[in-house]
Structure 1
Amino acid sequence: MDDAPEPIEESLFEAPPMGEQERMIEAILFATAEPITLRELAARMPHGSDPAEALVYLRKRYEGRGVTLCRIGDAWAMRTAPDLGFLMQRETVETRKLSRAAIETLAIIAYHQPVTRAEIEEIRGVSVSRGTVDQLLEMEWIRFGRRKMTPGRPVTFVVTEEFLDHFGLENARDLPGLKELRAAGLLENRPPPGLGVPGPREEGEEESTQGQSELFEDD
């Protein structure tokens, strides 16, 4: 009886060395404008590669450099170091800014997501104009979330990875505190509805502007 061990079948594919995997990911990230997920990286790299481990080494390699490797939600991207953002100001043309109504709506969604339109109105104490939500959706800073398991199954809103990317956040937990937002004048201190004050105003009242979108106001 032959008790000799069976030969181990060698894999037909051999993963590249980790240093080469780092170079591959670096090349992919520099060539991709939008953040890219681990699954997408793995699909582009040779069989057996470990993009998660390669990202760890690559992130350390870029620490303290002018370009950093940032995690944005479940995706990764190369971005300018936050402290060097002022160097890019001449390359960015900003002609309009968000109105207070849009900023408040966006902030409420970010901090209370998933949140319904009715809940946004309750927090703000004013009806939310459809134009505000539509414009934020068009900017891809918010998206529809799951419907709430309450009567009427109202749709909810959540922020997107584009929103996180724009503000340099890894996830919504990195947002500043509500007190900081109020101190910066981004949120008003309104009394809760129902305490001897008028309820939400009608949609568009004191929010609409003449001849321009509610979302933007001229500089």
Structure 2
Amino acid sequence: MTEPDPDNDNNSGPVLAELLASDAARTVEALIFASAGPVSTNYLIERLPQGTDIDAILRALRTLYVARGVNLVSIDGHWAFRTATDLSFALRRDEHEVKKLSRAALEVLAIIAYHQPVTRAEIEDIRGVQTSKGTLDVLLEAGWVKFRGRRRTPGRPVTFGTTRDFLDHFGLEEIRDLPGVDELKAAGMLSGRIPANLSMPVPRDEEFDADEDPITQLDLEELGLLTPGGKEEE
């Protein structure tokens, strides 16, 4: 699907007003608003009359909300309403917000984001120090990192990748929108322990490497990461 462009000239005037007043547009707006998390385009299409121009509706809604207190944003091909970034200062922090990550956790998160799929051994090789299980656990519990696959190498180590929640939290539409090395250093996400000549590759999407298999529930159970039946260990 072509990414809706809020600046598209076709989204102005009477045409825009008529489209926004349609039952289809109102339905899309309600579905996105009522959802607990970002919704996929297919989710919306399945709930609309056949032949509905979903691209035009999403363009119109993005235009409608572009200057408001909430914006319609795309997150990894999914849609959600989010507070306008310039108003974040006015919102009180939730007491249950994910606690501030340690420097080690930030480093590991940055490495996973840019080098995914990446194994724990590869993370340690990049950082030059061992990575504790607790550091990875914090990122997994925050919902920003996930078990992604297994390498087709001896021992079949688990690979890690980022999640849609990671993109949502940092205001990214897709993983390729991640900032460069200089921006990460300025934000404190890279410290002196990271080699000065670190080369950040272009982040990749969800496609699996030729030497990687998707992780399954059976894999997780065998590794002790899930209990039989699919429930995570406490």
TM-score category (smaller protein): 0.7 to 0.9
114, 129, 133: which one pairs with 2:132?
Answer: 129
TM-score normalised by the chain length of structure 2: 0.68
Decide whether the 8 Å contact of 1:182 with 1:189 is kept in 2.
no
TM-score normalised by the chain length of structure 1: 0.73
Post-superposition Cα deviations, 1:101-122, rounded to whole Å, max 9, x if no partner, equal 1111111101111111111001
84, 103, 106: which one pairs with 1:103?
Answer: 106
Shift of residue 153, structure 1, vs aligned partner: 2.4
Aligned to 2:185: 182
Post-superposition Cα deviations, 1:54-82, rounded to whole Å, max 9, x if no partner, equal 11221122222221110001210011111
Shift of residue 95, structure 1, vs aligned partner: 7.9
Change (3 A) 1:181 1:160: same
The one-letter amino acid of 2:128's match is: G
**Higher RCO structure, 1 or 2 (CA under 8 Å, sep 6+):** 1
Aligned to 2:89: 86
CA distance in 2, matches of 1:95, 1:122: 28
Decide whether the 8 Å contact of 2:150 with 2:156 is kept in 1.
yes
Aligned to 1:207: none
SS at match of 1:44: coil
1:33-182 residue pairs with structure 2 within 5 A? 33-88=36-91, 90-93=92-95, 94=97, 96-182=99-185
Aligned to 1:201: none
The one-letter amino acid of 1:116's match is: T
CA distance in 2, matches of 1:191, 1:67: 37
Q: Which runs of 4+ in 1 moved over 4 A?
A: none
CA distance in 2, matches of 1:46, 1:150: 48
CA distance in 1, matches of 2:90, 2:194: 42
Shift of residue 46, structure 1, vs aligned partner: 3.1
CA distance in 2, matches of 1:140, 1:157: 12
Shift of residue 191, structure 1, vs aligned partner: 6.9
Shift of residue 185, structure 1, vs aligned partner: 3.1
The alignment covers a number of residue pairs equal to 175
Aligned to 1:217: none
Shift of residue 183, structure 1, vs aligned partner: 3.3
Shift of residue 96, structure 1, vs aligned partner: 3.2
Shift of residue 146, structure 1, vs aligned partner: 2.3
Decide whether the 8 Å contact of 1:70 with 1:170 is kept in 2.
yes
Post-superposition Cα deviations, 1:29-56, rounded to whole Å, max 9, x if no partner, equal 1111200001111222233333333112
Q: Any unmatched runs of 5+ in structure 1?
A: 1-16, 193-219
Post-superposition Cα deviations, 1:129-186, rounded to whole Å, max 9, x if no partner, equal 1111122112211111122233332211110001111111111222221222223432
Question: How high is the sequence identity, in percent, across the aligned residues?
Answer: 56
Q: Any unmatched runs of 5+ in structure 2?
A: 1-17, 196-234
SS at match of 1:98: coil
Decide whether the 8 Å contact of 1:141 with 1:159 is kept in 2.
yes
- Please identify, of 168-177 and 45-54, the stretch whose mean Cα deviation from structure 2 is larger: 45-54
Change (3 A) 1:118 1:165: same
Decide whether the 8 Å contact of 1:68 with 1:78 is kept in 2.
yes
SS at match of 1:97: coil
27, 32, 35: which one pairs with 1:29?
Answer: 32
